[in-house]
Every structure is written in C-alpha cells, then in structure tokens.
A and B are shown apart, each in its own frame.
Chain A
Amino acid sequence: MIRVTLRGLRARGWRALLTGLTAAVGVAIVVGTLMVGDTADRSGGSEGVDLVRTIMLLAGGVAVLVGGFIVNLTMSVTVAQRTRELGLLRCIGADRRQVRRSVLLEALAVGVLAAAAGLAAGHGVAVVLRAAVDAGPFQGDLPAGGSVLSGRTVVAAFAVGCLPMLLSALAPARRAGRVAPVAALREVAPSAGRMRPRRIGAGALALAVGLAALPLAVATRQGLLLLPGAASTLLAVRLLGPLFAGRLADVLGAPLRGVVGGLGRRNAARSPDRTAATATALMIGLALLTLVSIVFSSIEKAVLNDVHRDHVDFQVWAGGPDPTVRRAAPMDPEAVRRLRALPELSAVVTVDCVATGGATFCAADPAQLARVVDLEFSAGSLAAVTSGGVAVSDRDGRAPGATLRVGDADLTVTAVYRATDNFNAALIPSAELARIGGAPYPMTALTRVAPGVDRGAARSAVARATAGFPGLDVHDRAAFHAHDLAQFRNAGRVYRALTALAAVLGLFGVATTLALSIVERRREFGLLRAVGMGRRQLRAMVRVEGVLIALVGAALGLTVGVLFGWAAAAVLAHSSQPTRFTLPVGALAAIVVLVTAAGLLAAAVPARLAARVDVLRAVAAE
C-alpha cells in the first residue's frame, strides 16, 4: 500500500507541490520566529521580541490553517477525480481501511515534505525577521551572532507541518474508503450529491454562536470573546459555503458580458463546494487584514482627533529628556513668569498642583486651558465649572453629580470632557485650587506660539527663557506627534503586511483549485477549442473564473472582517486606548482591487495550462 501511495504521489507531483507550498510557508514562518525567539531568550529576551514573536506565531498559525484548508481541498478533488482508480483498488482486493490509509499516507508525505522545506526556508525567515526586529518599530535588541536552531523548533516544524495535513485529509480519506468497487466499471463518477441536513444544522449553529459573540464581546468589553467567535464564524462559512458560494460568484460576475465572461462565470459557479472551500481559505487572510485595517484606522482617527484638538506648541516641564516618562517635579514659578513675558507666545497655561492630605492634586484652570486645547464636553460645559465644582476627563469614569474628594474638600463633578492623549487632568478654577490646599505650584507649562511668529524663533525664545533653570525640558509637541504617528503607522504597516501574507497564501488556494479543475476539464477545453474558441479567449475564460472565486473570498472576508473589526473597535473604545470606529473605505477598496489583480495572477499559470490543451488528445475518444 505504501508503494502505491508513493507512486501516486509521484504521479501527482505538481499537485503535491502546490498543496505543500502553503503549509511550507506556514512552517517557515513558525520556524523563523522560534529561531529568533530562542536567540533572544539566550540574551535574556526583550519586550520587542516577545511582541514580534506573538504576532509572528499568530501569522504562522494562520498560514498553517490556510494550508490545512488547501490540503482539504486538493485531497477532496483528488479523491473525486480518482474514483475509478480507487474502485479498481477495491476490485483487486484492497479493503476500505487500506484505501483510507493510502490517502492519509499521501497527506502525511506531503506534510513531511512541507515541514522539511519549511525548516530550510525558516533560516531565511529568521534572517529577515532579525533585520526587522533590529530596525523595526518594536525596538528589539538581539545579541550578535547566528540564530539558534533548537530541537524544539525541529519538533514544532514537523508537528505544524504534519498534524494539520492529517486532520484535513481525514474527511477525504473517509470518502475514499466509501468508494464502491463497482465505481471502477462506471463511465462517469457519481456526483457528490446534496448537502446533508446535519451539515447545514451544524453550520447554522456555528454561525449563530459566531455572530452572538459580537454583541456579547461589546457588552461585556471582553475582546477575547471575539477569538472563538471568529473561529466559529469561519467554521460556519466552511460548512454553509456551498449553499451560497456558487450564487455569489454568479452575482459578482453579473456585470460580465459576452460568451467568454459568461462561461467563466458559470465555471466559477459550477462546483459550489470547491468554490466555497477556496474562497474560505482566502477569506481567512482577508478578514484578518480587514479587521487589522479597521482597528488601526479607528485608533488613528482617535489619535488624530486628539492631535487636532491639541494646540500646544511647546510644553515645558521638569521632566527628563524622554517625553514618554513624565516625572512629577515642580517647576520654578520664575520660569513660568519669564515664559509669560515672551511676546512670541500667545498663551502660557500651567497645570498646578497642591499638596493636600499627603497626596498631590493637580488641576488646570478650564478657562485658561481652553486657549490651548479644544475642550469637548460630553456632559456640562465650561460655565458649569464654578466654585465647588470640577470637570473630569471621560477617562476618570465619574459621572456628573459624583463627588471627587481632594484632601478635606469634596468637589462635585459638574462637567465631563473628552481626554486627549496628552491631557486628562481635572479642571477647577485657579482660585478654587488655592482654597483647597494652599499655594499651588506649577507642574508643567503649555504654551502656544502667537500668530505670525516663526516657530524656530519661538523655540529659541522659550529655550532662552528656561535656560537658567536646571532640569527643565522644552518639548516640541508637533515633533512628538509626528514621531508618535510615524511609529504607530509603522506598526500598522507591519501588522498589515503579516496579515496580507495570510491572504497571499489564500491565493495559492485559488491557483491550486483552478489548476485541479483544468485537469478535470481537459476535454471540455478541447471541445471549446475545436468549435472555434481562440487561445486568448480560453485564457480569458479561466482568468474570469479565478477572479470571481477570489472575489467571493473577498466578499466573505470583508463582511466578516468589518463585523469583527467593528466589535474590536467598540471593545477598544472602552479601554484606555482612544479609538473611534471608522471604516477605512480607501483601504478596503484597495483590498478589492488588489484581490482582483491577485486573482488574475493566480489564474495566470492555470490559464496557460488550459490554453495549451492539445485539441486532438482532448476530443479523441478514450
């Protein structure tokens, strides 16, 4: 039996190659990540590497998952195409278990090859990853010297390469075992038949569970609930896909006119199960990409909104050189007086603190602050902050009417304003602060350059005014924002690139499906060529099919991605991370355009194969 399997594998060599390719990429990512991780551990590890490791292992896992889908697809198609051969094996005495085992063995062999290839390619991934960590936004620091290949990594490579293969080959193997000996004698393989009600029931249940996770996660603010929800939705799409994938392909192809477009459209719709399986493999990556795009643009929108509300040009404080570490040290009031005297500045607002009852309470005067920050009140207004009242930021969590106890004084919250990334202190009138705890001292000064004054000149003036005071730092907010945003956008690019990788792997699936279908349809292509279809028309027909399958994946991926992206943004909005849900329409449109282009690319080789079909051999009777 093993010999039969290996012969079969050789006969279907290019298929095994396509099947294993995706899994090999997944293994390579996992191996590279583990290697870099081990290198970092040798030097005691670093936070940057830990983050990269988590993300990369996730990406590798997704790649392996997609690879499993593709194996499931190829094995199913291969078993269907080999019905007669399998029937023959049964005829000459192979029992069900042997047939089943031959399919599983084939999958295992592909898995071993994929693992070995992935292990070799993993070194390359490790090199790239190292460079990325050294240069990248995560600021990892790795020791010099080569990466480590540990025994654990080798074991992981083979586990990750083989286990999903075997798992995804289980169902096709069972189907192969069910092939009756008489199938060898039949002219035409029996069709796959209708979907069983049990499958539809399980799919509906998975869909219900997956969709229920959305409102549940948002209501309970538990982002982790989205993970099983997404997995369940994925399962639902795989199970129910055949019900709608064909129709979806038909609808997406509706604008296509002409006989070539029409044929391609019908080909995409003709085997809904296969189209669904392929589209699901692509959907995983695209849904992730959509989700990540939504989360990042939602955060970016909130951050940009903060930046637009913040009119502080230079902030002076007694902190260190690192703007992200704020040391609470009082400023010399004389420095503030000098700053106020500068004609280059139109506003100098201080955040003042008082010591009261062993604690420090800091606040700014709301009327003053409004000159450098656009205060957006979600409850109450500037006028409501009077004696005995206080405005808190929405991050404080107190609602209007609540009490804020400062030392011996009880302040009533009369207004709530939206915090910015730079400012979330309490607001009370200056006179009130002095009443609570004695003489307030300035903690930081927020300054705004007067209109018409050159920023450089203003910067020098501020530097001169603070020069005599040790420990004072002048901090350029505009530069900080630019740096901050650049960092953030870099991180976004890395995440998007990693998730896009999963989508690219899905396209391997499209190429595999098309290539397999073309082998199946040799005679049909020959017939079309015989009755006058040109090579170019034939290629175009296959490309239409590829693009439509890819677009079904895109439609599913965008739908799932937008749903879960919205939920993720909604959960994040309740966290300390400012987030405002926004649909990155441009990015999503770009995804659709790229998927279309990639579908064309994935169809390129299959289309050439199809156009090369020998008319004579295809039409000549068997």
Chain B
Amino acid sequence: MSEPVAAVRAVGVSKRYPTVTALDDVSVEIDTGRMTAVLGPSGSGKSTLLHCLAGLDTVDSGAVYIGDVNLCGLDERRLTRLRRDRIGFVFQSFNLVPTLTAAENVVLPLRLAGRSPERAWVARVIDAVGLADRLGHRPAELSGGQQQRVAVARALVARPAVVFADEPTGNLDSLAGAGVLALLRRCVDEFGQTVVMVTHDPIAAGHADRALFLRDGRVVDDLPSPGVEQVLERLRAPRAAA
C-alpha cells in the first residue's frame, strides 16, 4: 500500500502543561481517505492530540502538517483560514449555531469564506446525511442524532483535507450513535474523506480502518482494521502493548 502523502502528520510533537505532559514526542501519520480512531483512557492525551492536529492548540515542540502546510508557521489569521477551508469539525456537543437553520449551519463555513456553495455538492452531502426534509429546522427542533448528522454535513461541505470528530457519539444513545458512525464510515467509503475520530467507545473504534492507542501522552499501539474485540482487549490490558 503506497499512499502518496499523509493527510495529516505529527512529527515529534510534545505538549506540556504545568503539572502534566499531555503529549510526549508523538509522531503519527494519518492516512488519506481512511478513518483513524484515536483511543485511550481519559487523561491519555487523545483530545490534546486531536486539538494539536487540528490547529486548535499550539505545540511546544515538533511540527504538525496538514497536507504539506506546517501549522506551526501559521499566524492566527492563516490558522483560521486553514480551519475554514481544509478542516471539518464534529464535536461531542454544541455543534450547531442555535440561531441558524440546519441548512444554514451546513453552508456556514462556505459563507464565512465568502464562497457561494456549489449546489450539486451541497445537495449530495445533504442527501448523504439524510436530512433533506429537516433543512429549515433550528437545532433546538432536531434530535441529538440529527444535530450530529447536520454537523457531519457541515464538516464535509468545504471538501476538507480531513474531518476531525471529537467523541461524536459521546452524547447520543446507542441507536443514534450507530447512525452517526455509519454516516462517518460512508463519508470515507463514498467520498474518500479522511476522518480522524477521538473516542473511548470500542464500538465506535470498530468502524475505523485503524486504531491508535494513547497512554500518558505516547502512542502505545497502532492497530490496523481493528475489531471491537481487539480494541476491548487493548483497552483492558494497555500496559502489555507497550
């Protein structure tokens, strides 16, 4: 398997807080067009890794590349533009702007960039998330699962280099969660979208093409095509993997 260039690369990334080292010399490559799950117990640094990869947080040492752009060299304005144009986000909760309708939320990144949405593409994305009949609704009128699906549509609409999902099913019941995971999977299979998902849920990780395990700020395991059983096993006995 020879991927041309990794969608996202971290090279020797460290991030320290006064009392704790969140990331300790982490180097990973995120494969283009695949879904990577990042797992680990709370405090393992998985969220910090996601924030650093997405340019939401700065690193103390090392470098992060989105495509061939080094995030460390970017000022605030360029970082914002990069987030807008190259990165899609799906957060655990509070994903949508409450004053905007579902449709307006979906095209928000494009509108912020001053670009007019490509109708065909927007229609395809909206069709994929299956919310064509709820477009005029405000977030408060949508269920949690529907809100997350709108968020996925918004993440896809700018054709980003990578979509980062931070515990996207954390606030959902299992049925709605399964719907969102299936949708993310479809983004990868149908649109060739690169997805990075932070989760503590083995079932969620089971949808991924690859699972990275973090503990104490280090990558302790890298599992291709993880099954739910395997993930559970690694999570139960993390020390053995190191």
Contacts and interface: CB of A to CB of B under 8 A. Distances in A.
Contacts of B97: 263, 524, 527-528
Interface in B85-115: 85, 89, 91-100, 108-109, 111-113
Interface in A494-541: 523-524, 527-535, 537
Contact of A533 (B56, B100, B112): B112
Contact of B77 (A260, A266, A530, A534): A534
Interface string B115-150: 000000000000000000000000000000000000
A259 B103 CA distance: 13
A621 B91 contact: yes
A527 B57 contact: no
Given A266-B99, A616-B56, A616-B57, A532 B112 contact: yes
Interface residues of A, number: 24
A293 interface: no
Given A532-B112, A535-B76, A263 B99 contact: yes
B91 A619 contact: yes
B51 interface: yes
B94 A523 contact: yes
Given A531-B89, A531-B108, A537-B112, A621 B98 contact: no
A543 B100 CA distance: 18
Contacts of A532: 80-81, 83-85, 109, 112-113, 158
A259 B92 contact: no
A214 B170 CA distance: 61
A270 interface: yes
Interface string A340-365: 00000000000000000000000000
Contacts of B99: 263, 266-267, 270
A527 B111 contact: no
A619 B56 contact: yes
B167 interface: yes
Contacts of A535: 76-77, 80
B46 interface: no
A610 to B, nearest CB: 14
B71 to A, nearest CB: 14
A383 interface: no
A615 interface: yes
Contacts of B100: 263, 266
Contacts of B95: 527
B170 A621 contact: yes
A11 interface: no
A523 B94 CA distance: 7
Task: Tell me the dominant secondary structure on chain A's binding face.
Answer: helix
B47 interface: yes
A92 interface: no
A537 B114 CA distance: 11
Contacts of A260: 112
Contacts of A534: 77, 80-81, 112
Contact of B111 (A259, A266, A523, A530): A259
Contacts of A621: 91-93, 166-167, 170
A166 B100 CA distance: 38
A528 B97 CA distance: 8
A259 B94 contact: no
B154 interface: yes
A260 B108 CA distance: 10
Interface in B142-170: 154, 158, 166-167, 170
Interface in A258-274: 258-260, 263, 266-267, 270
Contact of B112 (A267, A531, A616, A619): A531
Contacts of A267: 99
Nearest to B113: A532
A620 interface: yes
Contacts of B77: 534-535
A527 B56 contact: no
Nearest to A537: B112
B132 to A, nearest CB: 22
A529 B81 CA distance: 10
B84 A531 contact: yes
A209 to B, nearest CB: 36
Interface string B61-85: 0000000000000001100110111
B103 to A, nearest CB: 13
Interface in B177-236: none
Contacts of B84: 531-533
A249 B128 CA distance: 36
Contacts of B154: 531
B125 to A, nearest CB: 15
Contacts of B158: 532
Nearest to B158: A532
A270 B99 CA distance: 7
A127 B231 CA distance: 78
Contacts of A266: 99-100
A71 to B, nearest CB: 27
A524 B92 CA distance: 14
A259 B101 CA distance: 13
A531 B94 contact: no
B141 to A, nearest CB: 13
B112 A527 contact: no
B91 to A, nearest CB: 5
A530 B108 CA distance: 11
A621 to B, nearest CB: 4
B108 A259 contact: yes
Contact of B56 (A258, A524, A537, A615): A615
Contacts of A527: 91, 94-97
A531 B56 contact: no
A537 B77 CA distance: 11
A242 to B, nearest CB: 17
Nearest to B170: A621
Nearest to B93: A621
B89 A524 contact: no
B215 to A, nearest CB: 20
A581 B96 CA distance: 53
The 9 A-B residue pairs with the shortest CB-CB distance, nearest first, are A532-B84, A259-B111, A266-B99, A621-B92, A534-B80, A523-B94, A532-B109, A532-B112, A531-B109
Given A270-B98, A524-B94, 20 more contacts: A263-B99, A524-B97, A524-B98, A527-B97, A528-B108, A531-B89, A531-B108, A531-B109, A531-B154, A533-B84, A534-B112, A535-B76, A535-B77, A535-B80, A537-B112, A619-B56, A619-B166, A620-B47, A621-B93, A621-B167
15 contacts: A263-B99, A270-B99, A524-B97, A527-B91, A528-B112, A529-B80, A530-B89, A532-B80, A532-B112, A535-B76, A616-B56, A616-B57, A619-B89, A619-B94, A621-B170
